[in-house]
Chains A and B, each alone.
With several copies, the nearest count.
Chain A
Amino acid sequence: MSTISLTNEQRLELYYWMILTRVFDENMVALWKQGRGVGGTFSQRGHEAISVGAAYALGPDDVIAPMHRDLGAYLLRGITPQRIFGNLLGRASGVSGGRDANLHGMGDLNLNIIGFISHLTHSLPVSLGVAMSFLYRNEARVALTFTGDGGSSAGLFHETLNMAAVWNAPLVVIVENNQYAYSTPLNQQMKSPNIADHAAAYAIPGVIVDGNDVEAVYAVTREAVERARQGGGPTLIEAKTMRMLGHAIHDGAEYVPRELLAAWEARDPVQRYRTFLCENGITDEDELAELTQRAEVEITDAIARAEASPLPDPATVLDGVYA
């Protein structure tokens, strides 16, 4: 576990966002198993440290474009659990007002969040454009975005990093390498397992980080964000982790070797940070249990409110196509 200068208060914040994400996820999975879901949804289990650690490294004016396993980032940046459950359940109160599905379409420019689109890997060039707008206006702001290992095979990965390098854009790209793209293991996606290796050819910094270590993720992201803010250009960060459940709610992921999952289970990012916090005397199990309890209440309440909220009025179906 790396150590960087975080206050204990900050550490508890990091933990809270992780446990909130975990509790959200477990409740969401349960909801779908009970047949109360609408459409599909993506489990976030295993990705908590990346989405939370990275988002925590941003200032409020920075812009983030999360991907489909970055629930933690949405929560941390201020989208309430109720609005997210509303989205998942197609409610008018959902972030996209019932227009987009699961964790897609959850943009909110008031919160400096760019919504995700199914088509991989469009968050990258769009975030590059966001970063370019900061250069354009001489603002000391940074854009942060994410892609999966799978998304890194798409041409946009190359186009974006190349242009970001030439333009010296204040952009940070994090690859969440969770070993699989849906059912396809890494070795069928790429020959070299280190996606960060690409950075060298763009002449930009490339960093590999333990994606299950929230403080490590925070530290490398923070460094990249500050470099970008100071005119140092883009950084490519590869966070290694494991997708602990199926690709989406319907997927049992029988194709993943059970030993592999067991090995990663031992490195569970939430449990690991919990142990770290206790062993270093930063907090104790009681306080952590209280946080979990708080998260449970928040999520249970959000689900109840979201489920009770109405579907969109069909008469509004044509609204909002144009600005």
Chain B
Amino acid sequence: MSTASNFGFSDIETTVDAGRELTYIAAISEALREEMRRNPNVLVMGEDVAGEFGGAFKVTKGFEAEFGARRVINTPIAELGFVGAATGMALMGLRPVIEMQFADFISTAFDSIVQFAATTHYRWNGAVPWVIRAPADGGIRSGPFHSQNPEAWFVHTPGLKVVAPATPADAKGLLLAAIRDDNPVIYFESKPLYRALKGYVPPGDYVTPIGQAHVARAGNDLSIITYGAMLHQALAAAERLASAGIMAEVLDLRTLKPLDTAAILATARKTGKVLIVHAANKLAGVGAEVAALIAEEAFEWLDAPVQRIGGLDTPVPFSPSLEDAYRPNAEKIYVAARALAAF
């Protein structure tokens, strides 16, 4: 996986070869288009999603032509209000898929998400089956407001579900699962993977169940628990570790809420050494919950301190030299894993 800087603005390939190797973003687009064909209650809304334009990253290009303006809605710049409107639609049984232009702007809709949508079923049985697609993550020289990974805010919030696919297949599978889920689901897509990562995507109706992590690589010496773009950095590190005779197991969480605690504890108990990696701020990030869970429930199996690598406790800096210092990568993972293996 490269971190190509043209991560986002070109058109998405629409012709799929027989081997069904799709880019990550093409998988998102395909899942959405197919589900809109299957289910007339599914619609998309967000800034610039309609018309020939089809969204900042072109995920919905051609959608208005196929599905009509009623199902492909351009919104004014009013995230708080239009997520609220999506909640109203969802309460009436529609299934809006909301595109945030960048995940960074999800905070603008915060109250609509964490106070209204997240609590409504608990309070009065109102189901809110919307999905927010949030183009997240950095490494692409986009600066503090186009690089954020804000998932921890939502994992801490009762009533939401949170997913973060790392592969084209899961990009499709988790989006379908998210749309079909009767709850508000935040779907964090990884911009650096958009056009840089290709992989096999099953045709047709393919679902990755929410709540199931995936062992992306098996190993006995230590566990690397991660998600999103960092999966590929972890896999690259694991490859190098293997050359050094260290067999790392790599667990791709895929769903961040609800966490697959069984899978987390299984790998921790299996290897006894755990390194948790994510691009988001390490401090009080999702990795803290994973580490705490392991320290609580796999303690007796542990042979070493639970390690974490994450973003620094700063805004995401823009300049390449600073962003590289800010951001985890395969090299940093490799170094930490070697130390852990040697513990």
Contacts and interface: CB of A to CB of B under 8 A. Distances in A.
Query: Is there any pair of Cβ atoms, one from A and one from B, under 8 angstroms apart in the complex?
Result: yes
B116 A90 contact: no
B320 A188 contact: no
Contacts of B48: 182-184
B77 A133 contact: no
Contacts of A129: 84-92
A245 interface: no
B81 A159 contact: yes
Interface string A116-128: 0111101011111
B112 interface: yes
B141 A98 contact: no
Interface in A237-263: 250-251, 254-255
Interface of A: 38-40, 63, 90-92, 94-96, 98-102, 104-109, 114-115, 117-120, 122, 124-136, 143, 150-151, 153-156, 159-160, 162-163, 166-167, 181-184, 188-190, 250-251, 254-255, 311-318, 320-323
A119 B116 contact: yes
B111 A96 contact: no
28 contacts: A39-B140, A39-B143, A90-B319, A91-B319, A99-B318, A100-B318, A104-B144, A117-B115, A119-B105, A119-B107, A119-B116, A119-B145, A126-B91, A127-B88, A129-B84, A135-B70, A136-B71, A154-B78, A159-B76, A160-B81, A162-B76, A182-B101, A184-B48, A317-B314, A317-B325, A321-B122, A321-B315, A323-B129
Interface residues of B, number: 78
A62 B135 CA distance: 36
Q: Which of A143, A151, A311 has the most CB of B within 10 A?
A: A311
Given A99-B123, A101-B142, A181-B47, A125 B80 contact: yes
B325 A314 contact: yes
B21 interface: no
B272 interface: no
From A126, A143, A153, A181, residue with most partner B Cβ within 10 Å = A126
Given A106-B124, A318-B312, A321-B158, A166 B322 contact: no
Contacts of A136: 43, 70-71, 89, 94
A320 B313 CA distance: 11
Interface in B292-340: 312-315, 317-322, 324-326
